[in-house]
Amino acid sequence: MFQKKSLETFDRKIQKMKNIVTVTMCMVLSQSLFAQKIFNITSDKLKQNVPVLVQEPKDYQSSKSYPLVFMLHGYSENYGQWNKTTDLKKLATDYQMILVCPEGFVNYYMNSPIMKDFKYEDFFFKELVPKMDKKYNIDNKNVFITGLSMGGYGALSLFIKHPDFFNTAASTSGALEIDHENFKEISLKFFESERMTNDLEMTLGNHKKNDWNKFSISSLLERNKDFTKGFFIDCGTEDPLLPNTLKIKKLALSKKLPIRFSIAPGEHNNEYWAKSIEYHFVYFKQHLKTE
């Protein structure tokens, strides 16, 4: 009799523990889901649905205004790349910023002069930004943008063309110079094909008939004579795109732009970006405007 009651008591305790574990797991999952959301924007500028991952701080309060950081992914990846590369929830919570990771496809975040149904710059400012403004209480003095590889190009190009919208910007391992031969070489190295240049021809047209260089970050800086803002650029020492970053560094310094530059051991991979992105957020925090 005593043994039967003991077993029944033990079973109840086990079931109670299971219930506690289940409730705890549900709470953790609920908090995680609450902090990170995925929106789908039906875009008139791109003629397709565009997924956007948004990471809120863990202690997010809808009544509080937050700085916003757009984080652009690299070529051949998608809007989930940064989520796989670093701890977005920790970044958002530590720096008290809302992080926005939009799908960028393979077209370098630009308005294509060839594809009439691909106007990414228009999508960004006329559809994505209003969506975020409507959904969140944004501190409009402190909107930042960063990106890796192709996303580094997108971040700097959008920043240079719209300096009044952004506080500042950053690029890690940026594909900053739109050069056919350089991109062909890199494409063969990473993909054993010419897919990168093929996609760019789809976006910009034939490189022999159209001047791709005018889309390079160096060309944008040269044309925008009134651009005086600083930004952060970094790259790994073993990265084949390092010459792109070095060229922009040299040009920016010649124009006396207040840039920050970093070069560290590393390749063109997630291991490097997982470390480099933290420096971008330190830089953004240092440039927060209070008035």
CATH of the domain at 177: 3.40.50.1820
For residue 275, report the phi and psi dihedrals to the nearest 5 degrees: -90, -40
Does residue 187 fall inside a structural domain?
Answer: yes
In which domain, by residue range, is 48 found? 37-286
Give me the half-sphere count of Cα atoms (radius 13 Å) on the Cβ side of residue 135: 19
Q: What is the mean pLDDT of residues 112-116?
A: 95
User: Which of the four pLDDT bands, split at 50, 70 and 90, describes residue 35?
Assistant: confident
Q: Tell me the CB-side half-sphere exposure of residue 157, using CA atoms within 13 A.
A: 27
pLDDT value of position 12: 54
For residue 47, what is the DSSP state?
T
> What tens digit of pLDDT does each residue of 215-259 get?
999 999 999 999 999 999 999 999 999 999 999 999 999 999 999
Residue 5 has pLDDT above 90, yes or no: no
Inter-CA distances, 216 with 104, 108, 166, 213, Å: 18, 11, 20, 5
Residue 288 pLDDT: 98
Residue 259 lies in a domain: yes
23 within a domain of the structure (yes/no) = no
Neighbours of 257 (CB within 10 A): 16
Q: Is residue 29 part of a domain?
A: no
Give per-residue pLDDT as tens, 155-198: 999 999 999 999 999 999 999 999 999 999 999 999 999 999 99
pLDDT (average), residues 197-219: 96
pLDDT of residue 36: 95
Q: What would the 3-class secondary structure string for 115-184 be? A: CCCCEHHHHHHHHHHHHHHHHCCEEEEEEEEEEECHHHHHHHHHHHHCCCCCCEEEEECCCCCCCHHHHH
Percentage of residues of the chain with pLDDT beyond 90: 88
Residue 29, pLDDT score: 39
Per the domain annotation, does 32 fall within a domain?
no
For the chain, the domain total comes to 1
Instruction: Classify residue 4: in a domain, yes or no.
Output: no
The pLDDT of residue 6 is above 60: no
- 137, part of any domain: yes
For residue 17, being part of any structural domain is answered with: no
% of the chain at pLDDT higher than 70: 88
3-state secondary structure at position 283: helix
Q: Which tokens is 4 given?
A: 């039967």
Among 7-21, 24-38, 166-180, name the one with the lowest average pLDDT. Answer: 7-21
Average pLDDT score, the chain: 91
The Cα–Cα gap between 150 and 16 comes to 52
